C-alpha cells in the first residue's frame, strides 16, 4: 500500500504597504504577491493588512493596558501571522510615516513583531526604494524581526520596460518572477526558523 504524502505546511503572511495611496506601486507589488501566491505557491497564504485607519502613535490612548480598537485589530493580525511581507516606499531617503506609525503601535508591550521572519520589497525612482529597506532593517533589529537577506527586491518603477499600469498593477513579467522568488525564499526561511515540517 502506497504511503500518502504529508500535507504541505501552510504559513500565514501579513502583508503591509507603507503607502496609503490607492494607486501605489508598492500596493501593486502586494496585489501581485497575493495573486502569485494563489496561482503558483502552495503552502502560503497572504493577507493584506491595511494601516490607514491607525491613529497616530500616542501612549495617552493606552487605557488600562488596552489599545484603541483599530490598533488592537492590527496587533492581532500581526500576532497571528507566521511571517511579514513589507512593501516599503521611500520618502526622503527613509521609510514612510504611516509605516513607522504601524510599526510603533505593534511594538508596544507585548511586542507582536518579535521573532517573526520577514521580507521587504519596494518600488520607486532611482534606487527603487532601497534606502527605505535599509532603514526598515535597522528598525527590525530592535523589533527582533528576522529579515531574509536574499533576494533583495528593488523595483525601479520609472525605467523601461514599463513595470506598472495606470492603476498601479504590476505588469512586468520579469518583476513578477522576482516577486515570486522573494516569496519562495520567505516561505523556506519561515519553515526553517519556525521549525515547521
Full pLDDT tens readout for the chain, 197 residues? 444 556 778 999 999 999 999 999 999 999 999 999 999 999 999 999 999 999 999 999 999 889 999 999 999 999 999 999 999 999 999 999 999 999 999 999 999 999 999 999 999 998 899 999 999 999 999 999 999 999 999 999 999 999 999 999 999 999 999 999 999 999 999 999 988 65
Angstrom distance (rounded) from CA 195 to CA 197: 7
Q: Please tell me whether residue 12 adopts helix, strand or coil conformation.
A: strand
∠89-154-133 over CA atoms, to 5°?
A: 50
DSSP 60: G
Domain spans of the chain, in order of start: 11-194
pTM of the entire predicted model: 0.94
Report whether CATH 3.40.50.360 matches the domain 11-194: yes
* Closest to 40 (Cα-Cα) out of 191, 184, 185, 151: 184
30 cis-preceded (ω within 30 degrees of 0): no
Amino acid at each position: 500500500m502506497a504511503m500518502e504524502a504529508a500535507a504541505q505546511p501552510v504559513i500565514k503572511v501579513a502583508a503591509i504597504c507603507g503607502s496609503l495611496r490607492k494607486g501605489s506601486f508598492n500596493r501593486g507589488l502586494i496585489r501581485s504577491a497575493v495573486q502569485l501566491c494563489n496561482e503558483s505557491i502552495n503552502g502560503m497564504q497572504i493577507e493584506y493588512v491595511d494601516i490607514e485607519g491607525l491613529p497616530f502613535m500616542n501612549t495617552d490612548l493606552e487605557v488600562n493596558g488596552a489599545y484603541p480598537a483599530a490598533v488592537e485589530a492590527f496587533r492581532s493580525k500581526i500576532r497571528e501571522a507566521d511571517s511579514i511581507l513589507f512593501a516599503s516606499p521611500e520618502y526622503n531617503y527613509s521609510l514612510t510615516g504611516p509605516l513607522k506609525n504601524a510599526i510603533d503601535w505593534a511594538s508596544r508591550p507585548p511586542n507582536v513583531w518579535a521573532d517573526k521572519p520577514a521580507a521587504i520589497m519596494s518600488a520607486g525612482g532611482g534606487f527603487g526604494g532601497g534606502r527605505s529597506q535599509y532603514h526598515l532593517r535597522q528598525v527590525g533589529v530592535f523589533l527582533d524581526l528576522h529579515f531574509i537577506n536574499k533576494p533583495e527586491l528593488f523595483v525601479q518603477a520609472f525605467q523601461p520596460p514599463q513595470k506598472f499600469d495606470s492603476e498601479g498593477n504590476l505588469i512586468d513579467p520579469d518583476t513578477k518572477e522576482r516577486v515570486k522568488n522573494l516569496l519562495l525564499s520567505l516561505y523556506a526561511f519561515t519553515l526553517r526558523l519556525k521549525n515547521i515540517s
